[in-house]
Amino acid sequence: MTIANSSRSRKAKVQLFILRVLAYLFIGILVAMCLFFFIMLLLMSSKSNSQLQGAFSLKWGGHFLENLHNAWNDASTNIPRGMVNSFIVAMSSALITTYFSALTAYGIHVYEFRFKRAIFTFIMAIMMIPSQVSAVGFIQLAYKFGLTNKLWLLILPGMAAPVVFFYMKQYLESVLPLEMVEAARIDGSSEFRIFNEVVLPIMKPAVAVQMIFSFVSSWNNYFMPSLLLTKPEKRTVPIMIAMLRSADYSKFDMGKVFMFILLAILPVMLVYAVLSKSIIKGVTSGSVKG
């Protein structure tokens, strides 16, 4: 019996080891597939224009710093200014979108008032309307009142984000007991203090997720900035990429183009890397409490 049990235990350990190896192998393949295009972009940005015009190679080009210097100091595109403009718009939009959506969701979830269900239904109905439909009137008003080339005009509309509101509302229903709000009121806290110091910390994982989505969406937005920003010093990164895409590549330094594209996606990766820690921390702490 002892020998048989020992043999079964060994077989179980071998099977478990094989399953782990297969799982890690599968995960490694998925990671490689996800990182393949980024690695290719990194390799292409290290090559000179002549190397890119020649035969395809996976070797490191050795011109990374040279392409970085040329792209960063190119006066025709002004990458630093474009990245600053995009970061101001994207980060401000992400903060405004998540904060006011969470505040609206808190009001709908906590308070009982007349026409509450009708207001919620109205917000959900707005979510079904394509943004391009409302953009026509918005752009006409912007030109009528001379509000073009204003970065804040791309930021303030983020206050009304029905999709983010719906996500925040569903999250609050699952994590915020109304008794906690009542206890804070009994302690004498104001409504805004309750929201900022009690509710927002609880919503940290949801806020981090929506900040990532809002930041990426605003950073990659080309439609509205291309119509409202006409001055070169106000251009954002997507407009500059579109300008490069329409350029004559036979007369252009392709190494500099790949470097510019690499610089354009780095802030998005940085924001995700920073905020993803908050998501993981929030999920793990919630599972421990449960």
Structure tokens at 196: 């900022």
The mean pLDDT of 61-88, rounded to a whole number, is 86
pLDDT of 283 higher than 60: no
Which residue, among 228, 232, 210, 212, has the nearest Cα to 220 in the 3D structure? 212
Same domain, 86 and 35: no
Give the model's pLDDT for residue 85: 92
Average pLDDT, the chain: 83
Q: How many residues are there in the chain?
A: 290
218 neighbors 94 (Cβ within 8 angstroms): yes
Q: How deeply is 210 buried, as exposed, middle or buried, from its count of CB atoms within 10 A (0-12, 13-18, 19+)?
A: buried
Percent of the chain surpassing pLDDT 90: 10
pTM: 0.81
Same domain, 143 and 232: yes
In a domain, 51, yes or no: no
Question: Got the DSSP string for the chain?
Answer: -HHHHHHHHHHHHHHHHHHHHHHHHHHHHHHHHHHHHHHHHHHHTTS-HHHHHS----S--S-HHHHHHHHHT-TTT-HHHHHHHHHHHHHHHHHHHHHHHHHHHHHHHH---TTHHHHHHHHHHHHTS-HHHHHHHHHHHHHHTT-TT-THHHHGGGG--HHHHHHHHHHHHHH--HHHHHHHHHTT--HHHHIIIIIHHHTHHHHHHHHHHHHHHHHT--HHHHHH--SGGG--HHHHHHHHHTS-GGGS-HHHHHHHHHHHHHHHHHHHHHHHHHHHHHHHHHHHH-
**pLDDT of 70-79, one tens digit each?**
888 887 778 8
Give the model's pLDDT for residue 88: 93
More confident residue, 47 or 277: 47
pLDDT of 3 higher than 80: no
Question: What is the domain extent for residue 86?
Answer: 66-289
Same domain, 204 and 86: yes
In a domain, 61, yes or no: no
- In this structure, the number of other CB atoms found within 10 A of the CB of residue 32 comes to 10
Give the model's pLDDT for residue 286: 42
In a domain, 50, yes or no: no
pLDDT of 43 higher than 50: yes
Same domain, 192 and 270: yes
The C-alpha atoms of residue 165 and residue 99 are separated, in whole angstroms, by 10
Rg (CA), the chain: 26
In a domain, 149, yes or no: yes
Same domain, 155 and 239: yes
**pLDDT of 111-129, one tens digit each?**
888 888 888 888 888 888 8
In a domain, 237, yes or no: yes
**pLDDT of 158-217, one tens digit each?**
888 888 998 888 888 888 888 888 888 888 888 888 888 888 888 888 888 888 888 988
Give the model's pLDDT for residue 87: 92
**Dihedral angle, C-alpha 255, 256, 259, 261, nearest 10 °:** -110
In this prediction, residue 7 has a pLDDT band, given cuts at 50, 70 and 90, of low
In a domain, 263, yes or no: yes
CATH number at residue 210: 1.10.3720.10
Same domain, 24 and 120: no
Number of domains comprising the chain: 2
Same domain, 80 and 28: no
Same domain, 86 and 179: yes
In this prediction, residue 5 has a pLDDT band, given cuts at 50, 70 and 90, of low
Give the model's pLDDT for residue 97: 93
**Dihedral angle, C-alpha 80, 85, 88, 93, nearest 10 °:** -140
Same domain, 168 and 277: yes
The mean pLDDT of 30-57, rounded to a whole number, is 84
pLDDT of 137 higher than 70: yes
In a domain, 49, yes or no: no
Same domain, 34 and 109: no
In a domain, 8, yes or no: yes
Give the model's pLDDT for residue 2: 61
